[in-house]
Structure 1
Amino acid sequence: MKICVVEDEEVWRNKIGEIIEKYCDEKNILFQIHLCSNGKDFMKNKDADLVFLDIELAEGENGFGIAEKLIDTGKQCKICFLTSHTELARWGYRVNAFRYIDKKHLEEMTEALDSFVKTKIQERNIFCNDIFGICRKIKLDTLLLIETSGRKLRYLMVEGNECFCEGSISEMSKKLEQFGFFQIQRSYIVNMKYIEKVDSRKITLCNGLEIAIGRTRSNEFKKEFFKWRMVFDN
């Protein structure tokens, strides 16, 4: 996750950056953060998923103007405006602002980050070679589970379609754990987003499939599933 802060005052810039770093560390989220003192520097390197953008910048720069330029480039970056003048918030409809953060209440950033992560963390693709050597693109937000099938891995999507690819289930588990997937037992990785029911011995997925929880993984699964629900469940 790439996050940018555009703030001309160093004290505020560093304070906001520290909040973001602490949040991502506590949530175990991989991130990159770029701190900019002006809009020109930001627009030179505008590859960000989320930007915290001050409305009133030095040298006559305006956060709304920067946001409009960003939209014109076709980037899908979410914009959280920073301001000490909340009356300016009414102009945000022009650029479809994601949030307004009052600088006097930076604790509001936690809710903004929670909401953003909830919508973005699984909006990613992975690529793997199928049994015919063809590179397949798999969308994580529609991937229900991965299971071993002989020496291959079976990727089952929520809609019911499937593909068989090369790979190690343990390596794939490590790769996907930051995106809400958990290796529930030796043969299965499941998307926690689609778990409907949990009891002491098994889980039930949204398609009705029941999978036993590995004995050695039970405690870790319960801990990770609880953390996932705390952040992402409505």
Structure 2
Amino acid sequence: MKIGIVEDEAVWRDKIQTMIERYCRDKNIPFQINSYSSGKEFMKNPDIDLLFLDIELAEGEDGFQIAEQLMHCGNKSKICFLTSHTEQARLGYKVNAFRYIDKRHLEEIDETLDSFLKTKIQDQIISCNDTAGIRINIDLNELFLVETYGRKLRYLMLNGKEHFCDGQISEAARSLSQFGFFQIHRSYIVNLKYIEKVNSHEVMLCNGLKVIIGRAHNKAFKKAFFEWRMWFDN
């Protein structure tokens, strides 16, 4: 996760960076933080995922104008504005502001990072070799089930498309677990965000498909699903 901070006052800049570093270390999240004292300095290399941007900067720089520049150049960074004047927040709709943080309440940084991770956890592309040996890309946001299919794995997508790839389901489960997927049976891995209903022996996915929960996986699955809902559901 690449994070930028644009704040002209060193005291605030250091406070914000310290809080972000603590959060990422506590959550064991890989991170890179770049801090800037001006928007001009930041715009030399605006390649970040989340930007904490002061609205009122030195030398007449305006945080909203910096955000507009990012939009015009196609930058997809999420922007969290920092301000001591909350009445300015109403202008943020023009630049699709992700969050506002009153500098008197920096504890809101944790909630901002929580919400940001919700939007990003499955924003990943994985690759595998299909049955013809061709390398294909799979968007995790669109993947809702992986199952064994003979000696292959079948990746089932939301649009009904399916990919048959080489691999072992245990290895796939390990690599996908960090992105909100769980192996609920020796033959099935499900995307936790697409589970509609759960009972003692099966789950129902968003397309109505029912998948059996293996007895050996039941307890761990219920715990993982509960934690997922606590963390990611609104």
Alpha-carbon distance, 1:188 to partner: 1.6
Query: Could you tell me which amino acid in structure 1 is paired with residue 232 of structure 2?
Result: F
For 1:207, the equivalent position in structure 2 comes to 207
Query: Could you tell me which amino acid in structure 1 is paired with residue 96 of structure 2?
Result: N
After superposition, where does 1:149-228 map in structure 2 within 5 Å?
149-228=149-228
- Counterpart-to-counterpart distance in 2, 1:139 and 1:17: 32
For 1:125, the equivalent position in structure 2 comes to 125
For 2:17, the equivalent position in structure 1 comes to 17
| Residues 228, 33 of structure 1: alpha-carbon distance in 2 compared, 3 angstrom cutoff | farther
- Counterpart-to-counterpart distance in 1, 2:216 and 2:19: 36
For 2:69, the equivalent position in structure 1 comes to 69
Give aligned-pair identity as a percent. 66
- Counterpart-to-counterpart distance in 2, 1:18 and 1:216: 42
Alpha-carbon distance, 1:135 to partner: 2.2
| Residues 138, 90 of structure 1: alpha-carbon distance in 2 compared, 3 angstrom cutoff | same
* 8 Å Cα contact 1:124-1:141 kept in structure 2: yes
What stretches of structure 2 of length at least 5 have no aligned partner? Answer: none
| Residues 73, 192 of structure 1: alpha-carbon distance in 2 compared, 3 angstrom cutoff | same
Which piece of structure 1 moves more, 69-78 or 110-119?
110-119
For 2:148, the equivalent position in structure 1 comes to 148
* 8 Å Cα contact 1:3-1:49 kept in structure 2: yes
| SS in structure 1 of the partner of residue 101 of structure 2 | strand
After superposition, where does 1:78-157 map in structure 2 within 5 Å?
78-157=78-157
What stretches of structure 1 of length at least 5 have no aligned partner? Answer: none
Q: For 1:21-79, what per-residue CA distance to the aligned partner results, in whole angstroms no more than 9, with x for missing partners? A: 34444555444333333323322321112111111223443212221222222111111
Normalising by structure 2, we get a TM-score of 0.88
- Counterpart-to-counterpart distance in 2, 1:52 and 1:226: 31
Alpha-carbon distance, 1:190 to partner: 0.8
Moved over 6 A (4+): none
Alpha-carbon distance, 1:2 to partner: 2.3
* 8 Å Cα contact 1:55-1:63 kept in structure 2: yes
Normalising by structure 1, we get a TM-score of 0.88
* 8 Å Cα contact 1:28-1:178 kept in structure 2: no
- Counterpart-to-counterpart distance in 2, 1:200 and 1:134: 40
| SS in structure 1 of the partner of residue 58 of structure 2 | coil
| Residues 140, 220 of structure 1: alpha-carbon distance in 2 compared, 3 angstrom cutoff | same
Alpha-carbon distance, 1:128 to partner: 1.8
| Residues 89, 229 of structure 1: alpha-carbon distance in 2 compared, 3 angstrom cutoff | same
| SS in structure 2 of the partner of residue 127 of structure 1 | strand
For 2:7, the equivalent position in structure 1 comes to 7
Q: What count of residue pairs does the alignment treat as equivalent? A: 234
| Residues 84, 146 of structure 1: alpha-carbon distance in 2 compared, 3 angstrom cutoff | same
For 1:50, the equivalent position in structure 2 comes to 50
